[in-house]
Structure 1
Amino acid sequence: MKARSKAQQRAAGAALSAKRGETKVGDLQGASKDMYDSMSEAELEEMASTSLKNLPDEAD
Protein backbone atom coordinates (compact mmCIF):
# COMPACT_ATOMS: atom_id res chain seq x y z
CA MET A 1 0.00 0.00 0.00
CA LYS A 2 1.47 3.32 -1.04
CA ALA A 3 1.17 6.46 1.07
CA ARG A 4 -1.50 8.90 -0.04
CA SER A 5 0.11 12.00 1.48
CA LYS A 6 3.44 13.33 2.72
CA ALA A 7 2.13 13.22 6.29
CA GLN A 8 1.20 9.55 5.94
CA GLN A 9 4.60 8.72 4.43
CA ARG A 10 6.42 10.45 7.30
CA ALA A 11 4.27 8.72 9.93
CA ALA A 12 5.05 5.36 8.32
CA GLY A 13 8.75 6.20 8.39
CA ALA A 14 8.60 7.01 12.09
CA ALA A 15 6.70 3.81 12.87
CA LEU A 16 9.16 1.78 10.80
CA SER A 17 12.08 3.30 12.67
CA ALA A 18 10.52 2.27 15.98
CA LYS A 19 9.65 -1.19 14.65
CA ARG A 20 13.34 -1.68 13.77
CA GLY A 21 14.45 -0.46 17.19
CA GLU A 22 16.15 2.67 15.85
CA THR A 23 13.90 4.99 17.89
CA LYS A 24 11.86 4.56 21.04
CA VAL A 25 8.26 3.41 20.73
CA GLY A 26 7.37 5.89 23.47
CA ASP A 27 8.40 8.75 21.16
CA LEU A 28 5.63 7.89 18.68
CA GLN A 29 2.44 9.93 18.62
CA GLY A 30 -0.85 9.85 16.75
CA ALA A 31 -0.89 8.08 13.40
CA SER A 32 2.64 6.73 13.68
CA LYS A 33 1.76 5.01 16.97
CA ASP A 34 -1.37 3.50 15.42
CA MET A 35 0.65 2.32 12.41
CA TYR A 36 3.27 0.77 14.69
CA ASP A 37 0.59 -1.26 16.47
CA SER A 38 -1.40 -2.34 13.42
CA MET A 39 1.06 -2.81 10.55
CA SER A 40 3.90 -5.23 9.83
CA GLU A 41 7.44 -4.08 9.13
CA ALA A 42 6.99 -4.98 5.44
CA GLU A 43 3.80 -2.91 5.17
CA LEU A 44 5.48 0.05 6.86
CA GLU A 45 8.52 -0.24 4.61
CA GLU A 46 6.34 -0.18 1.49
CA MET A 47 4.43 2.88 2.71
CA ALA A 48 7.53 4.72 3.90
CA SER A 49 9.30 4.13 0.58
CA THR A 50 6.63 6.01 -1.38
CA SER A 51 8.15 8.90 -3.30
CA LEU A 52 7.12 12.30 -1.95
CA LYS A 53 6.97 13.73 -5.47
CA ASN A 54 3.42 14.73 -6.43
CA LEU A 55 1.95 13.78 -3.04
CA PRO A 56 -0.27 16.31 -1.25
CA ASP A 57 0.86 17.49 2.19
CA GLU A 58 -2.21 15.89 3.77
CA ALA A 59 -4.79 13.42 2.46
CA ASP A 60 -8.31 14.63 1.77
Structure 2
Amino acid sequence: MPAKSKAQQKAAGAALAAKRGEMPKSKLQGASKEMYESMSEDELEEFAETDRKGLPEKKE
Protein backbone atom coordinates (compact mmCIF):
# COMPACT_ATOMS: atom_id res chain seq x y z
CA MET A 1 0.00 0.00 0.00
CA PRO A 2 1.56 3.34 -0.99
CA ALA A 3 1.80 6.31 1.35
CA LYS A 4 -1.17 8.70 1.28
CA SER A 5 0.75 11.88 2.15
CA LYS A 6 4.23 13.37 2.04
CA ALA A 7 4.43 13.29 5.84
CA GLN A 8 3.60 9.58 5.89
CA GLN A 9 6.22 8.88 3.21
CA LYS A 10 8.90 10.78 5.14
CA ALA A 11 8.04 9.02 8.42
CA ALA A 12 8.29 5.64 6.70
CA GLY A 13 11.67 6.60 5.28
CA ALA A 14 13.00 7.51 8.72
CA ALA A 15 11.64 4.30 10.26
CA LEU A 16 13.14 2.25 7.44
CA ALA A 17 16.55 3.87 7.96
CA ALA A 18 16.40 2.97 11.65
CA LYS A 19 15.35 -0.63 10.88
CA ARG A 20 18.35 -0.98 8.57
CA GLY A 21 20.70 0.47 11.19
CA GLU A 22 21.46 3.58 9.15
CA MET A 23 20.28 5.87 11.95
CA PRO A 24 19.75 5.31 15.68
CA LYS A 25 16.26 4.31 16.82
CA SER A 26 16.51 6.97 19.53
CA LYS A 27 16.25 9.70 16.85
CA LEU A 28 12.74 8.54 15.87
CA GLN A 29 9.68 10.34 17.20
CA GLY A 30 5.95 10.39 16.59
CA ALA A 31 4.67 8.48 13.59
CA SER A 32 8.08 7.20 12.52
CA LYS A 33 8.61 5.60 15.95
CA GLU A 34 5.21 3.91 15.78
CA MET A 35 5.90 2.70 12.23
CA TYR A 36 9.28 1.31 13.31
CA GLU A 37 7.65 -0.76 16.04
CA SER A 38 4.59 -1.97 14.14
CA MET A 39 5.70 -2.52 10.54
CA SER A 40 8.09 -4.88 8.79
CA GLU A 41 11.00 -3.68 6.68
CA ASP A 42 9.12 -4.70 3.51
CA GLU A 43 6.04 -2.68 4.51
CA LEU A 44 8.16 0.36 5.35
CA GLU A 45 10.00 0.07 2.04
CA GLU A 46 6.69 0.09 0.16
CA PHE A 47 5.56 3.26 1.96
CA ALA A 48 8.94 4.99 1.65
CA GLU A 49 9.33 4.38 -2.09
CA THR A 50 6.03 6.13 -2.89
CA ASP A 51 6.55 9.02 -5.30
CA ARG A 52 5.81 12.32 -3.51
CA LYS A 53 4.56 14.04 -6.64
CA GLY A 54 0.85 14.77 -6.30
CA LEU A 55 0.62 13.75 -2.63
CA PRO A 56 -0.87 16.16 -0.10
CA GLU A 57 1.46 17.44 2.61
CA LYS A 58 -0.66 15.77 5.33
CA LYS A 59 -3.47 13.22 5.21
CA GLU A 60 -6.84 14.75 6.04
- Alignment of 1:38 onto 2:38: yes
* Corresponding residue for residue 47 of structure 2: 47
Equivalent pairs, count: 60
- Taking the aligned partners of 2:36 and 2:2, their CA distance within structure 1 comes to 16
Percent pairwise identity: 65
Normalising by the residue count of structure 2, what TM-score does the alignment of the two structures yield?
Answer: 0.99
Equivalent positions of 1:1-60 (< 5 A) are 1-60=1-60
Deviation at 1:6, TM superposition (A): 0.1
Which TM-score applies when normalising by structure 1?
0.99
Flag structure 2 segments of 5+ consecutive residues without an equivalent: none
TM-superposed CA distance for 1:38, in Å, is 0.1
AA aligned to 1:32 is S
Paired residue type of 1:17: A
Aligned-residue RMSD, C-alpha: 0.2
Find runs of 4+ consecutive structure 1 residues off by over 6 angstroms. Answer: none
TM-superposition CA deviations, 1:2-44 (whole Å, max 9, x none): 1000000000000000000000000000000000000000000
